[in-house]
Amino acid sequence: MAEIELRNVDKHFGPVHVIRDVGLTVKDKEFVVFLGPSGCGKTTTLRAIAGLEDIDSGDILIDGKPVQTLRAAERDVAFVFQNYALYPHLTVYENMAFPLRAVRMNRAEIDTTVRSVAGSLGINHLLKRRPSALSGGDMQRVAIGRSLVRRPKGILLDEPIGSLDAKLRETMRVELKRLHVENGSTSVYVTHDQVEAMALADRIVVMHEGILQQLGTPADVYEYPANMFVAQFVGSPVMNMKTADIREAAGRVQVGLDGTAVAFDFPAELAGKLSAANVQKDKLMLGVRPEGVLISRDAKDGYVQLVAGIIEPLGSHDIVDLKVGDGILRARTKSAFVSASGQKVWARIDPGQAHFFDVTSGISLG
Ligand code: ATP
């Protein structure tokens, strides 16, 4: 059992407010990923859980017990650093045995534990090497192995695969997921890579400027972003975000984009829903992911004629820019569905995939 809880955690570095009243619970055996841009406070939060950083106020609890008064070594959580932090003069075996010698485990038990963990990581053949003779991926496997040997209650990982190349990152991502499932240890993982976060997490914590923006499953965060920051930080390519004006005439409701003549049909209930939210007329934003912009090659009822701009062929699909005034609306299509820039197409926005935001607060209106 290992539950990690933060209650109203606050922290400054001098005048910089790096963690602002953060509260959350990481459940036993859960894999939670802190996701946010550089400098948003995710590493500091992770280090605070580990006991590597003090906090100004609030509580950190592991299994219901406050741990602020405990030193890092007494918290029973392991920390995996991005830069591996292996001892260069020790072999892989000795690096992995180090935490066990520190707690005076006997030699036979150390040997069994190191070989078993090395086996699960596929690094038994590297045990006699020194770190300088390892590839980046293998160094990270050793660093993770060293964190696992003591079977800690929790594992805290700070961008552990951030410095590897893209291909190796993908392999390591799968390995990390498998290891987590096999070990069942509560894991907190920091990254600024949203693909990594989506692939690994049971739940994602999106952070920005020290504030927890949203905590939810990858699907929640992607499909129901709580605010404009989350909407635009999660998902690639980024969500289209347009100023929206609601036009009601003859029982029809349309949403105009960026003050242009381009307006899409929406169900009539939208007008009532948005006026209930009481947002100033010129402060409304429409967010829609490229897959929520539907395209037809021929004129179709409810579709609006637009002209295609740049087309990005991505193998499995294309991303097509559609001109809207001076701006663009990006749509996801099947490969080669639109053949050339300048082609006329017909488009509509799927109302079920549209999000409306109050630009003043950034908050989603659903
Ligand atoms: P990154 O991905 O770049 O590490 P992060 O989201 O993990 O970013 P933190 O490393 O937690 O962010 O940093 C949050 C803020 O605190 C940043 O403005 C950073 O410059 C500042 N900061 C971090 N560590 C210290 C320190 N020891 N002293 C002073 N300021 C610090």
Q: Which residues contact 166 (CB under 8 A, 6 or more apart)?
A: none
Task: Starting at the earlier edge strand, list the strands of the sheet with 240-249.
Answer: 263-266, 252-257, 240-249, 284-288, 354-358
The per-residue pLDDT for range 50-89, each reduced to its tens digit, is 999 999 999 999 999 999 999 888 898 989 888 778 999 9
Q: Of the residues 43, 45, 53, which should be mutated to test ligand 1's pocket, given the most ligand atoms within 8 Å of the CB? A: 43
Ligand 1 atom index nearest CA of 53: 27
Ligand 1 environment, Cβ below 6 A: 13, 16, 18, 36, 38-44, 192
**Among the ranges given (177-191, 197-211, 221-235), the one the predictor scored with the smallest mean pLDDT:** 177-191
CA angle 348, 351, 355 (to 5 degrees): 115
Q: Of all residues in the chain, what percent carry a pLDDT higher than 70?
A: 100
d(CA 137, CA 168): 7
The per-residue pLDDT for range 219-233, each reduced to its tens digit, is 999 999 999 999 999
Average pLDDT over residues 179-202: 92
Ligand 1 atom index nearest CA of 159: 2
Of the candidates 207, 188, 205, the residue with the CA atom closest to the CA atom of residue 31 = 188
The per-residue pLDDT for range 16-34, each reduced to its tens digit, is 999 999 999 999 999 999 9
Q: Of the residues 10, 11, 44, 53, which should be mutated to test ligand 1's pocket, given the most ligand atoms within 8 Å of the CB? A: 44
pLDDT band at 150 (very low <50, low <70, confident <90, very high): confident
pTM equals 0.91
Show the domains of the chain with their CATH numbers: 4-233 (3.40.50.300), 240-358 (2.40.50.140)
Of the candidates 99, 90, 188, 172, the residue with the CA atom closest to the CA atom of residue 131 = 90
- Asked if the peptide bond before residue 313 counts as cis, ω within 30 degrees of 0, the response is no
How far is the centre of ligand 1, averaged over its atoms, from the C-alpha of 16 (Å)? 9
